[in-house]
Structure 1
Amino acid sequence: MWHAVSYALMDSINVLLIGVIVLLGVVLPPSARYRRIATLLVGGDWLGVFLLSVPVLLLLDSIRSRVEAALASPIFGWVLIAVGVVSAVMTWRGGDSTALMNRMLGPLRTPTWRTAAVGFVLGVVQSITSLPFFAGLAYLSTGGFSTPVRYLGLVFYASLALSLPALTAVAVGFVRAYPESPAGRAFAWSRENGSRVSQWAGYLVSVCLIVMGCTHL
């Protein structure tokens, strides 16, 4: 279970969703319904992660013996290390997602079903391109838990995967209400140094993957 929890927490470092939430905190006027918008966005993302996790777990359960063999093999550790190194290189090379986030702002300025739909798409895309997402579910599938525990556990798993974005949304809401607070000043610094903060997050995921890969060898 610890491995599944670890990978879910690693998956919560969702730089794109966190960036969108921070951008909303900056561009939305004080009169905007930020709380409602953020709730729909994060809720839609959670739904995307949860609904994707169900068929993925079903697939992993159907080939459990092969999944167990893969997790027991040192090859899995080397895969984690390789992905961590590639992630670090891509983070170092950089990339500007500002244009993409700006295109998302249209449906996010008012709380509608489109707001939740954007979150849903972000949740699916983030998960389907995330090794920690699949690794965590693989450990959940092979952990010896009963079927009800595994599938009810997906609710908890998706919640962990959205823990950091949800905390970010709460923090941004607090900053909007109290911009002169220490948290507000920290938010201002993070906004002015967005590229650096994104790089730190990318390097953190890379280091975690490499360390977990080394411990698996």
Structure 2
Amino acid sequence: MWHAVSFALMDSINVLLIGVIVTIGVLLPPRAAYRRIAALLVGGDWLGVFLLSIPTLAVFDLIKDKVQAALESPVFGIILIAVGVLGAVMTFRGGDNTALVNKIMQPLQVPTWKTAATGFVLGVVQSATSVPFFAGLAYLSAGGFSVGFRYTALFLYATLALSLPFLTAVLIGFVRAFPNSPAGRGFEWARNNTEILTPIAGYGVSLILTIMGIAHLV
């Protein structure tokens, strides 16, 4: 179970969603409905992660023996290391999500169904391209838990996968309400130093994946 939790927490380091939340907090006027917009965005993302996790777990359950064998194989550790190294290389090469974030911002000016739909799409796309997402569900499937427990645990799994964006949304809301607080000044520093913090997040995930891969091989 610890492996599933740890991979879900790694999946929560969603740089794109966090960037969108920060952009909303910065660009929306003081009287805008930030709380409702952020709630719909994060809630839609959670729903996307949760709904994708159900068929994914169902598929893993159908091939549980192969999943178990893959998790016990040194190949799994090699894959984690390879993904970690690839992630570090991509982080080093850099990339600018500004244009994508600006495009995503268009339906996020007011709280409507489009806000939740945007979050839903982000949740599905981010999870479908995330190795930690699939790795965590693989461990949940092969962990020897009952069917009821596994599928009930998906609520917790999706919640953990959205924990960091949720905390970011709460922090941004606090900063908007108290811009002169220590948290507000810290946010201002972070906003002005995204070129430092974004690579740190990328390298952090890559390092964790590499360490877990090495530990799997030892």
Q: C-alpha offsets along residues 16-40 of structure 1, whole Å, 9 cap, x if unaligned?
A: 0000000000000001000000000
Tell me how far apart the structure 2 counterparts of residues 212 and 96 of structure 1 sit (CA, whole Å): 28
Over the residues paired in the alignment, what is the CA RMSD in angstroms?
Answer: 0.4
Alignment of 1:24-35 (within 5 A): 24-35=24-35
1:194 Cα offset (Å) = 1.1
Corresponding position of 2:143: 143
Tell me how far apart the structure 2 counterparts of residues 215 and 145 of structure 1 sit (CA, whole Å): 24
Moved over 3 A (4+): none
Corresponding position of 2:187: 187
Corresponding position of 1:76: 76
1:195 Cα offset (Å) = 2.0
Corresponding position of 1:157: 157
Number of residue-to-residue matches in the alignment? 217
1:126 Cα offset (Å) = 0.4
Supply the AA of the counterpart residue of 1:107.
P
TM-score (norm 2): 0.99
1:103 Cα offset (Å) = 0.7
Tell me how far apart the structure 2 counterparts of residues 122 and 195 of structure 1 sit (CA, whole Å): 22
Supply the AA of the counterpart residue of 1:148.
G
Supply the AA of the counterpart residue of 1:50.
F
List runs of 5+ in structure 1 lacking aligned partners.
none
1:155 Cα offset (Å) = 0.4
TM-score (norm 1): 0.99
Corresponding position of 1:171: 171
Tell me how far apart the structure 1 counterparts of residues 52 and 38 of structure 2 sit (CA, whole Å): 21
Tell me how far apart the structure 1 counterparts of residues 42 and 72 of structure 2 sit (CA, whole Å): 35
Tell me how far apart the structure 2 counterparts of residues 210 and 11 of structure 1 sit (CA, whole Å): 15
Tell me how far apart the structure 2 counterparts of residues 185 and 24 of structure 1 sit (CA, whole Å): 17
Q: C-alpha offsets along residues 67-96 of structure 1, whole Å, 9 cap, x if unaligned?
A: 000000011001000000000000010000
List runs of 5+ in structure 2 lacking aligned partners.
none
Corresponding position of 2:126: 126
Percent identical across equivalent pairs? 69
